[in-house]
Chain A
Amino acid sequence: MGQRAEQIFHGQPAAGTMAKGPLHVLPGTRQETAAPAAGEDLAAALERARSELSRLIGNEKGAAGDILEFQLALLDDEDFLAPVIKRMAAGEPWRKAWREMLEEEIATYRDSGDEYLAARANDLRDLQMRVLGTDQDMSGIGRGAIVVAADLTPSRFLQISRLGVSGIALSGGSATGHVAILARERGINMIVGLKTAVETLPDGEQALIDAKNGLLIVSPSARTLAQGAERMAHEEKERKAAQAMAKKPAMTADGEPVRVLLNAANPDDLEEISPEICDGIGLTRTEFLFSDGLLPDEETQTRVYERILAWARGKPVTIRTLDAGGDKPIAGVTADGERNPFLGLRGLRLSLRKRALFRRQLRALLRAAIHGELKIMVPMVSVPEEMVQARAQLEKARQELEQRNVPYGDVSFGMMVEVPAAALMAECFDADFYSIGSNDLIQYTLAAERGNPEVSWLADGCNGAVMELIARTVRAGRRLGREVSVCGALASEPAHAACLLDAGVRVFSVAPAMAGPVKLAISRHAMAKGSKNK
């Protein structure tokens, strides 16, 4: 067998470092010859998909169920299926016809210019995969494989991430997308925006994923492999050092103590993490509770928040109220058709318009607060008046609980600092603490949208203007005796620990997988002269 020539494919770094492994081209993007469940025809596949969906719908209420109902309805839509039938009549295999027709539909939804329809593209992807029966095929992914796919839904990503893969390379996706964030949290090597049609990649062929530089090297030469091995050995040494550091308290090289908190989302994810690696939780994103427009009741929410507090075993837990809007649309909650959603009705602005929904969440948080040290944080605050209004809602939520004779606990009430106006005037806000959301602060300060690859180079976290806003917020917090933390992606990047420390930041809230690496970076930095207790 002849040696293939080395081929390098370029993409964007999304998470992790470097690893080696055989390529696994995911079904849905795999060539027809490797079709799963041979013998099944379209009618049988549709019937299987129908019964799977009906079973799933049985467990779902609200919008998540509606979406599944929609998928089910599509399977009985003659107009929708007509192009597939037509292509089959012309002699095309049904899998190819189905996959390609859905591919066109997905593109139509994605490029519709309609936020709601675009958000449904992933549901069509799920339907496409479901009918192809690719769920069964996921088990074919071996430990150590490098999975290549066009794109992944978050649920599919989670399934794959548990299989012990070496890495994931996607031709779609974005470095700031949900799946990339999950990959960073789990320390999975990942590239997005790979510039090749994944189905042309050779399944099973050896490859090297260089996630730091956004490269996928297929059939690497002996020389590339040797260089890769050297880098991997270095990364491995760093990883071990970081791991050893994870359970120790963070401290700079010259002995300045630093607190490292975790960013969390779903309590299920916390189950796999030891609370020993952190000083508490600095950010809990509650959007997962509201995915697909699902509006969980007070009881459901209370139980979720209690679980997080139980996990923390007395350490402080910061929970952010619903941060919908912007790049996180929620059907039926966020506004449709805004010309610029990032400057629109999002975060606290939306909560102050949906007050019943907001107070429902506040009541659940107040109730959970009996079980630990709970800090409520509101996102996207621009002017002091918003904090006045938010506190009034908190007070009203307390009164509502009292009227019902439901016990509740003490909470502190703080704000995200992600709008430059808030950073400049931090001391004017009635907040018990400040948490800097670097992702938005960077994009609003530099007027560069984080999801746009053409301008993302401008969105440098260590930009002087951004650092000045952070330092200013830190100084305001010191004067008023209020905690200031950084919870955005900036805090999770070991390379940026030094400039944050120099800006006065002493509380970092990081992705769980980054607790060790960030502590390691902190331990290697000696404070610049004069910056101590500035």
Chain B
Amino acid sequence: MTETVTGKVVITDPAGLHARPAVKLTKLAKSFASDIDIRAGEDGGWINAKSPSAVMKLKARHGTTLHVRATGADAQGGVDALVDLVKRGFG
């Protein structure tokens, strides 16, 4: 039984989660076996971080707090990697 790991990070990229960051984020999420979800702000609904379509429709813009949660063997690694990617401005 694995537990759920969570993390959060503020989007600093001026354009927010537009096409390029959305693709980068989902590609990174897909490199982990765990289920990884994200949401925009406290009240947003969780969406699959491995789906570019869902990530794009999140409309997460500059200044939004992105919440990450993962469940699975490599959950901690997945959360850390995604948070780090957003922190780096998707570089």
Contacts and interface: CB of A to CB of B under 8 A. Distances in A.
Contacts of B51: 77-80
Interface in B28-80: 48, 50-54, 56-57, 59, 61-62
A295 to B, nearest CB: 13
A66 B23 contact: yes
B80 to A, nearest CB: 22
Contact of A66 (B19, B50, B62): B19
Nearest to B20: A66
Interface in A35-67: 63, 66-67
A371 to B, nearest CB: 36
Residue from A63, A70, A117 having most chain B Cβ neighbours under 10 A: A70
A112 B53 contact: no
Given A114-B59, A117-B56, A336 B15 contact: yes
Contact of B19 (A108, A112, A120): A120
A118 B12 CA distance: 22
B22 interface: yes
Interface in A306-353: 331-332, 336-337
A526 interface: no
Contacts, number: 65
A77 B53 contact: yes
A116 interface: yes
A112 B18 CA distance: 14
Interface in B2-28: 14-16, 18-20, 22-23, 26-27
Contact of B53 (A80, A332, A337): A80
Interface string A231-268: 00000000000000000000000000000000000000
Residue from A80, A116, A337 having most chain B Cβ neighbours under 10 A: A116
Interface residues of B, number: 21
A449 interface: no
A78 B48 CA distance: 10
Contacts of B15: 116, 331-332, 336
Given A69-B23, A336-B61, A79 B18 contact: no
A69 B56 CA distance: 13
A73 interface: yes
A265 to B, nearest CB: 24
A80 B56 CA distance: 11
Contacts of B18: 66, 116, 331-332
Interface in A103-132: 105, 108-109, 112, 114, 116-117, 120
Contact of B52 (A70, A116, A336): A70
Contact of A79 (B14, B19, B22, B48): B48
A98 to B, nearest CB: 14
Contacts of B62: 336
B57 A108 contact: yes
A105 B53 contact: yes
Contacts of B61: 336-337
B82 to A, nearest CB: 16
B52 A112 contact: no
Given A66-B23, A70-B19, A70-B22, A77 B52 contact: yes
B53 A79 contact: yes
A117 B57 contact: yes
A67 B57 CA distance: 15
Contacts of A78: 50-51
B25 to A, nearest CB: 10
Interface string A79-111: 110000000000000000000000001001100
Contacts of A116: 15-16, 18
A67 B23 CA distance: 9
A389 to B, nearest CB: 23
B56 to A, nearest CB: 7
A125 B19 CA distance: 16
B52 A63 contact: no
10 contacts: A63-B20, A66-B19, A69-B20, A70-B23, A73-B52, A79-B48, A80-B53, A108-B57, A117-B56, A332-B14
Interface of B: 14-16, 18-20, 22-23, 26-27, 48, 50-54, 56-57, 59, 61-62
Closest 8 A-B residue pairs measured CB to CB? A79-B51, A80-B53, A66-B20, A70-B19, A73-B52, A73-B23, A66-B19, A114-B59
